[in-house]
Structure 1
């Protein structure tokens, strides 16, 4: 399956790691998540995260104690933080 840019449908994309900025679920602050799997389009120059990565980040932030996160955390370290619940019981899409 060929992956295409979600913005321009180009097949000239590459997988990179980049920083993203995310608001915590309680709205108290935003954090920087470094080394996040990211898609970069070589045609339209858009840089974005796949829906799968977005959902992973949102679920993880919803299921952990966000008070233990500083202002900056790597994607891998974020995903390794133990969850308070096994799954997001408010997500009815899965």
Structure 2
């Protein structure tokens, strides 16, 4: 499967990068390392897919964010125990 950049339409590849995310309560931002990303070989854009963005948003909504330090990896985040089974406020 060939990945194409959403920005320029050229060939892209799967990669990982670091993102900074505001917690749902707006209290602070955290650094999430090794986050799955699309990396464009032409324009250099690095971004997360809508699916990864939704996974991060949902997980941050469903876990106890008080236990999260300033930084954690993507795998650590998605591996955290949830307080609810799913996001019951997502009607999409």
* Per-residue deviation, residues 30-71 of structure 1 (Å, max 9, x unmatched): 000000001110111111001110000000000000000000
Structure 1 gaps of 5+ residues are none
Alpha-carbon RMSD across the aligned residues, in angstroms, is: 0.9
Task: List aligned pairs for 1:1-94, cutoff 5 A.
Answer: 1-10=1-10, 12-93=11-92
Q: Secondary structure at the match of 1:56?
A: helix
Runs of 4+ deviating beyond 3 Å: none
Q: Matches of 2:52 and 2:5 in 1, distance apart?
A: 15
TM-score normalised by L of structure 1: 0.93
8 A contact 2:30–2:71 mirrored in 1: yes
Between the two proteins, the alignment pairs up a number of residues equal to 92
TM-score normalised by L of structure 2: 0.95
Q: Matches of 1:9 and 1:89 in 2, distance apart?
A: 35
8 A contact 2:22–2:28 mirrored in 1: yes
Give, in angstroms, the shift of residue 3 of structure 1. 2.5
